Every structure is written in C-alpha cells, then in structure tokens.
A and B are shown apart, each in its own frame.
Chain A
C-alpha cells in the first residue's frame, strides 16, 4: 500500500527527520488560509500516488497566499498519469533556499536479504535515470537488522554526499530515523528525494514516499486507516475486499485463473496468440463459489471485455466449486460475452458436468483455451 507524501513525511517526522511545516487542503480557499498561516512563502504540491508530479506541473512555489490560491485552483483536479488530484499539501518553503539536494532511501535488497540504505548526491531528479546513466553516483550500505544502522555507515554515506563534517551528526540522525520508520511500520520503501541542505545550512526532507508491506497491515491499524480509497480503482478495491488479486489492464480478454504464476502465464499465452488481456486475476488457492462469482462479475463489469477465459488447474481449488461460482455469477448478471473454460486437476470432470447446461466453450489445454478466447473476442467485435 502506498502512502501520500504528507502521510509519509509525518511518519518520518515522528522518527526525528526534519520536514517543512505544512498542511493538506482540498480547496483553493483552504490553501490560501494555510499559506497565510505559514507566512506566505509556500510550495503547493499535488498529492497523488505517482512519481513525476513536479514534471507534470503538480508542484509549484508561491510567494504569497493569493498566488498559492491561484496555483491550487490549477493543481486541484489536475490529471497526473491518469490520477485526479484531490488534495494538495502546502509546505513552507525551505528558508534561505536550497544549497544542495540529495537522494536518500531505505528499501529491501532481495538478493542480499537485508534492508539497504541508498543515497546519491544527484538528488531531486529521477533516481532510475541516475542509476542507469551515472551508477557511480549511487552509494549503498546494507543494514543487519540485529545491529541497526551503525555510525560508520552513515559517515561513509555523508562523506560520499559531500557533506561538511558539521552535518554528519544530523545526517546520522536522519538516516537512523528513516530506517527506524521503515522498520517500525513494515515499509517496503521509505524515500526522501530531495533531502536538502537549506540556505541556512540545515538538513530537511522536502519530499517523501513510503510503501507499506500489505502483508503486515494486520499489525498496523493506524496505517491501514491511511489508505486513500480514491487512489484505487473501484474494481480493484472490490476485489481486495473479496480476497481476490485483481489488476485492471487495457485489453479485451478477461482472465480468471487460480494462482499468481499461472495467472501471469495465462496472460502471456493470450498475448502469444495475438490477444490482449483485460486484467490479471488470481482467485487464490481454495477459492469458494462466492469468490468465483465475484471474480466473474468484476471481469464482466469492464465494458472492454469481449471474451472471458477461465483457466483453473485444481489443487486445493476444486473444479466443481469453481463451476458453481460461474453459474451463480451468470444468474446475477446477464451477458452475451463468450466464455472459454478450461478446467484441469482436482474435480475438473465434475466441474465440466456442472457447466454442461451453460453456454460455454470448453478447452483442454491452456494454448487451446487461449486461442479460442482470442477467436471469440474477435468474433464479438
């Protein structure tokens, strides 16, 4: 789960990372009021779950409340990478301007099986680009969870950032804070880009990004409440609540599969035979008929869908249970979208028998099913 910048920065601040004074608003009038309280010189920042907000015109400086209000009128409602801006963060401008911008993040290095701190003196810009073009400007240290961040590690990074000795202590506190924030909240990423040296010579986190490990949300009630449902497509939300893994895509062949690996593979094979998947959908292991019904309804609620491909290889999931779910869904939604069903494994035969009365195209192998679904989608156009 992703957090907004303002949420991330507040969590960083709880761990001693200095951030600008700021507040969130969803109206231009509110922005004006906040800007006035903050002394007029502010930055107005779109709060959406994507990077590149600045480049898209969603981050702008204002030198008085009037200007802040004008900017907010423009930024609120703006579309950034398909997401509508519904709130803005109004932050005080860094005092004395910005002398230096660096990149700082904590993430998990899968290969090393440890959290890793990554820093770069080339801050404020797209870090992927830095990694690709000037990898020598990226500095990393791994953190042993049993030891935590050690001061020799932050000294190494501070030196690599080109910071004067006077800043090393504060930098250490910030790195430790960002790591503690990462660990305590079960984050998969805490990122500050940029961490700046202000004109007054102080370190400050101007931007913040944070992703939480969904698997750990059960032990973070406070974070779970921070979820912004506006940032999640309605269909994905419905799927999440039903315990289904669903991601909407742009194609026209709806897919329902059990197991993430097989679901991805089904999409791959659809594409191999010239089709475009409309979604990724994994009903999980041991899905019940009602979950299957929800899945089918979700797929059919996408008007782009011209054919549905159901691919189930039963292990813990049973073919008869899936078949009952399909029938239940078809009782609730009228559709003339053609459906291709391929059942294999546990109780596949029973499932196919249940589906005999329904108007379904059956297939034996995945290739067979994908080809039939691609043909059906073309025929329906």
Chain B
C-alpha cells in the first residue's frame, strides 16, 4: 500500500510539450509511472515519443480523460496559465491534481481551493515537488534515485529539503511508503492534516516524517491533530529558525508574521504534543532509525 499514487495511477501531463513538461515526463516514465496522455492546447492529435513510449497529446483534459481514462493530472504550466489548468482538470472530473507551478497569486488560490472542495477534487501543491511512491509511481520531480520502498511516510512543505531527508533515510536503509510535497504557498490544496490522515490509514506506513517551515499555522494545527488522531510515531523538523521576522524567504508562505508563524512557536507546539523535532536535518533519519529500533 501507499498513498495517493501507485501502480494504478493513470497520469495525464498538462503542458507535456513544454521544456519542463517534456523533461520531467521522461523522468516519470523512466521511473515506471503509467503516463497515458498529454495535454497541450493547439497540439492535439499528435503523439510524442518520450523515453521510448508514444504518448498521445490532446487539446483538452476532457478529451484526454475520455480517450485514456486518465485518473490523475500533473501540471507543468507557467503561473499565468496554471490556474486555468487546475480548473480544467477538476472540471474534467479528475479527483487528484498535482500542480508544481510556482508563483501563483494567492487570491487565485483562494478561489481555486473553494472550487476544488466543492467538486471533491484534491490538489497537491502548488509550488511543490509532487508525489513519489517508491518503486511504483513518481508524479512530480522528487528524484527517484534517492528513494526506496519502505515504511516511512514523508510529508513536507519544502522541495530540496525533502530530498535531503529522503536521501538520508535511504542511506540508513530505511525506505519510504510515499513522499508528499504539499508546497510552501500560503494557500494550498492539501495540508499536513490531510496527509497525516492518509498515512495513519495506510497499512504500509509505520512512521511519519513531517517537515515544516515558518509561516502560517499548519504545523501547530498538525501538532494538535497528531495528539488526538495519529497513533503512528511522527518525527519532525522546522526550517527557518534563524529567518529574520517580516522578511519573505522565497516561499511565499514562509513569512514570519509578527509572532505567529515562528519556528519557536511551531517547535514548541510539536514538542508539547510529544513529537520529537530535530535540531539539524541530518539528525532526522537517525532519530527515525532509533525510534524504529533499528540502531
């Protein structure tokens, strides 16, 4: 088992003929992800050969779904067009949409999220590295080479910091059930609590690693949720302890708003809920190994 994506995923890539879309589709297919269709408005009807596979391209997601029974979408579309791409995927009936695009305006995301909730569709992201279920499917850009199948569920707001942690786990021989990048934007489609709920229900997952960062209160809410509803052990890390207040550290979400949203507040909330928080990301994997009784 795993969460969100697996061997039964049938992926449609929105923006498949773009530079990013093409490059990462190649990586996803090479990893063994079932990519069934691509969408690029104006290029419908052609087939593109990617990583030795012919992928049919459609003008719209609706056609792609009708022809190929795609059940999941990944969006590699620039910010100006990404919002429309998300609406299109949801409107075509897809229930899982992964959007990697960075720099989507916040007010757009407020409306997108309300629309998706209404449709019963789940968005992962935006501004995230996507999903990886080691050995089964890669729907995003997390390097497949650093992961291996196993019992640890990883959920994170960050991109490269997540790779760092996955890599360290793998080096200690600890595999992952699924890795989920929820993204660092102020308003996103899926938050920690959603993913924690899925990991709690997933029989393969025995331990959860949650990587947060400054800004917002998703970590504080997750801490309270874990205390009440998660029976599996959770190990955590919070990035941005030394970030100066009031400055925007790249992720639009990572703004320290006055006193709320600080690393100290988050760490305190997590520790109060009995969740170990690593001081140094290099220690996360070691803590997990210890808690799993592997050392």
B110 with A259: CB separation less than 8 A? no
Segment at the interface with B among A10-18, A95-103, A309-317: A309-317
Q: Which of B144-160 contact A (CB under 8 A)?
A: 146, 156-160
* A214 cross-chain contacts in B, Cβ below 8 A: 103, 252
- A267 CA / B279 CA spacing, docked (Å): 12
**Chain A residues within an 8 Å CB radius of B163:** 313, 315, 345
Report the nearest B residue to A276, measured CB to CB: B242
Interface membership of A269, Cβ < 8 A? yes
Complex CA gap A272/B103 in Å reads: 31
CA A162 – CA B186 in complex, angstroms?
A: 34
Q: Which of A338-381 contact B (CB under 8 A)?
A: 344-346, 365-367
A257 to chain B minimum Cβ distance, whole angstroms, is: 8
Q: Is the interface of B mostly helix, strand, loop or mixed?
A: loop
Judging by beta carbons under 8 Å apart, are A262 and B161 in contact? yes
Is A303 at the interface (CB under 8 A from chain B)?
A: no
A9 to B242 CA separation, bound complex (whole angstroms)? 34
CB of A171 closer than 8 Å to a CB of B: no
CB pair A265 B239 closer than 8 Å: yes
Contacts of A315 in B (CB 8 A): 129, 141-143, 159-160, 163
Chain B's nearest CB lies how many Å from the CB of A111?
Answer: 6
Contact A261 B158 (CB under 8 A): yes
Q: Are A259 and B279 in contact (CB under 8 A)?
A: no
With both beta carbons as reference points, the residue of chain A lying nearest to B263 in the complex is identified as: A268
Q: Does A115 contact B (CB under 8 A)?
A: yes
Which A2-28 residues have a C-beta within 8 angstroms of B?
A: none
Q: Which of B79, B80, B186, B211 contacts A110 (CB 8 A)?
A: B186
In this assembly, does A165 line the interface, its C-beta being within 8 Å of a C-beta of chain B?
Answer: no
Of B114, B161, B279, which contacts A146 at CB under 8 A? B114
A336 CB–B CB distance under 8 Å: no
Q: State which of A67-75, A222-230, A277-285 sits at the interface with chain B.
A: A277-285
B214 interfacial by beta-carbon distance below 8 Å = yes
Q: Please name all residues of chain B whose beta carbon is closer than 8 Å to the beta carbon of A115 when the two chains form the complex.
A: 107, 110
- Does A263 belong to the interface (CB within 8 Å)? yes
A280's partner among B108, B249, B280 (CB-CB below 8 A) is B249
Cβ-based interface call for B84 (8 A): no
Verify if A260 is at the interface (C-beta below 8 Å from B).
yes
Of all chain B residues, the one with the shortest Cβ separation from A216 is B105
Instruction: Report the bound CA distance from A128 to B245 in whole Å.
Output: 13
B186 touches A108 (CB 8 A): yes
A258 to B161, CA, bound (A): 9
Q: How far is the CA of A346 from the CA of B27 in the complex (A)?
A: 12
State which residues 231-258 of B face A: CB under 8 Å: 237, 239-244, 247-254, 258
The answer to whether A313 and B160 touch across the interface, beta carbons within 8 angstroms, is yes
Is B281 on the interface with A (CB-CB < 8 A)?
yes
Contact A215 B239 (CB under 8 A): no
Query: Contact at A113–B114, with CB atoms within 8 Å?
Result: yes
Nearest opposing residue in chain B for A244, CB measure: B250
Tell me the bound Cα distance from A183 to B107 in angstroms. Answer: 8
> Does B124 count as interface, using CB distance less than 8 angstroms?
no
Report how far A269 CA is from B164 CA in the complex, Å. Answer: 13
B249 adjacent to A268 (CB under 8 Å) = no
CA distance A260 to B158 in the complex (A): 7
Is there contact, CB below 8 Å, between A261 and B107? no
Does chain B have a CB within 8 A of A200? no
Known: A215-B103, A215-B104. A264 touches B110 (CB 8 A): no
Interface: B1 (CB within 8 A): no
Asked if A82 is at the interface (CB within 8 A of a chain B CB), the reply is no
Indicate if the CB atoms of A316 and B141 lie closer than 8 Å: yes
A170 interface hit (Cβ, 8 Å): no
- Taking a contact as CB atoms under 8 Å apart, the answer to whether A215 and B252 are in contact is yes
- CB neighbours of B280 from chain A (8 A): 268-269, 272, 366-367
A29 on interface, CB distance cutoff 8 Å? no
B184 CB-CB contact with A under 8 Å: yes
Q: List 24 A-B contacts (CB under 8 A).
A: A108-B187, A110-B186, A128-B258, A132-B259, A216-B107, A247-B249, A259-B250, A260-B250, A261-B157, A261-B239, A261-B251, A262-B239, A264-B214, A264-B242, A265-B158, A265-B240, A265-B281, A280-B247, A282-B250, A286-B20, A313-B161, A313-B164, A345-B160, A345-B167
With A265-B237, A280-B249, A315-B160 given, name 17 new contacts (CB 8 A): A110-B186, A110-B217, A113-B110, A146-B114, A215-B79, A245-B250, A261-B161, A261-B162, A261-B251, A264-B240, A270-B242, A280-B250, A282-B250, A313-B161, A315-B159, A346-B143, A367-B280
Q: Which residues of A contact B (CB under 8 A)?
A: 108, 110-111, 113-115, 128, 131-132, 145-146, 183, 186, 188, 213-216, 218, 245, 247, 249, 257-265, 267-272, 277, 280, 282, 285-286, 313-317, 344-346, 365-367
